[in-house]
Amino acid sequence: MRYTALSIFCLLVLSAATAQAQWGDLTAKFVYAGKAPAPKALTIDKDPQFCGKHNLKDESLVVNVANGGIMNVVVYLSPAAGDKVTAHPDYAKTAKDEVHVDNKNCRYDPHIVLMRQTQTLVIGNPDPVGHNSKGDLFANGGFNDLIPAKGSIKKTFAQPEKQMSPLACSIHPWMSGYLLVKDDPYAAVSDADGKLTIKNLPVGKWTFTVWQESAGYLDEVTLAGKATKWMRGKVTVDIKAGVNDLGEVKVPESTINKKLRPKK
């Protein structure tokens, strides 16, 4: 069979459209239902000459006073055991990348770190004082490394983790952060307005876990004006081609104040 230039063009367009139809984005906005709490100042009792000048605040709950958006809510794909997740081809370009977190100005920057098992974690210390980076992981075991001023270390992980792993500094006890190591690229953390997007998910019904540091798994929220329960922060979404908007998720003060933590 002979193909004309027009027929080849049509086949390419059809092929591209078919490929596009296999993927969809998930978006959401997380909002604090109530008056935004004032950030609490931290007690700086180590290296105060340097650390004390950075006006450090507790980052376990960061709420935007202008719009109520909750920063650092994490949503990540939680497939059932045995389910195979096919990642969009675009993610192959970053599969071997380095992911950076710094002990910067006596805090973890960024506060929440998301990475894939195939990637390398680089923990840096641009500060003029030493830091001790401690990671409490479950599947991979923990680490506890001294990082001198202006130094860095690299970490790789043989296994994915099913929950958030805390980061700490033994020298500066107020320092805290969290790390999530996954075997797929489907995770996102909300920005200063409470918004997040997970791009190019495979279409189909998928379960996601929703987590926030002060509350742990977000299990009681208001969605589309209706009180909703997500058992251990699990929500199932039927991902369709294009944009799938979870909408505005209001998180009541009672959910935040439960002080839940993920269980191992």
Q: Which of 50-54, 193-197, 220-224, 257-261 has the lowest mean pLDDT?
A: 257-261
Strand 112-116 versus strand 176-182 pairing type: parallel
- Tracing tokens 């369709």 back to the chain, one arrives at 240
Q: Cα–Cα distance between 5 and 11 in angstroms, integer?
A: 10
**pLDDT per residue over 165-215, tens digit each?**
999 999 999 999 999 999 999 999 999 999 999 999 999 999 999 999 999
* CATH number, span 96-184: 2.60.40.420
Using DSSP, state whether 232 is helix, strand or coil: helix
Instruction: Name the pLDDT band for 2 (thresholds 50, 70, 90).
Output: low
Predicted pLDDT of residue 10: 40
Instruction: Name the pLDDT band for 262 (thresholds 50, 70, 90).
Output: very low
**pLDDT per residue over 67-102, tens digit each?**
999 999 999 999 988 788 999 999 999 999 999 999
Task: Spell out the residues 6+ positions from residue 75 whose beta carbon is closer than 8 angstroms to its own.
Answer: 26, 28, 187, 188, 190, 196, 198, 208, 209, 210, 211
Instruction: Name the pLDDT band for 259 (thresholds 50, 70, 90).
Output: low
Q: Cα–Cα distance between 99 and 156 in angstroms, integer?
A: 10
Predicted pLDDT of residue 256: 86
The whole-number average pLDDT for the span 46-60 is 97
Predicted pLDDT of residue 83: 84
Q: Cα–Cα distance between 25 and 7 in angstroms, integer?
A: 31
The whole-number average pLDDT for the span 30-57 is 95
CA angle 60, 64, 100 (to 5 degrees): 55
In the chain, residues under CATH classification 2.60.40.10 are 19-84+187-264
pLDDT of residue 258 exceeding 50: yes
pLDDT of residue 21 exceeding 90: no
18 burial level (CB within 10 Å; 0-12, 13-18, 19+): exposed
**pLDDT per residue over 201-220, tens digit each?**
999 999 999 999 999 999 99
Task: Spell out the residues 6+ positions from residue 244 whose beta carbon is closer than 8 angstroms to its own.
Answer: 24, 25, 26, 27, 237, 238
Predicted pLDDT of residue 63: 96
- Tracing tokens 């929220």 back to the chain, one arrives at 221
* CATH number, span 19-84+187-264: 2.60.40.10
Using DSSP, state whether 174 is helix, strand or coil: coil
In the chain, residues under CATH classification 2.60.40.420 are 96-184
Query: 34 or 2: which carries more pLDDT confidence?
Result: 34
**pLDDT per residue over 104-153, tens digit each?**
999 999 999 999 999 999 999 999 999 999 999 999 999 999 999 999 99
255 burial level (CB within 10 Å; 0-12, 13-18, 19+): buried
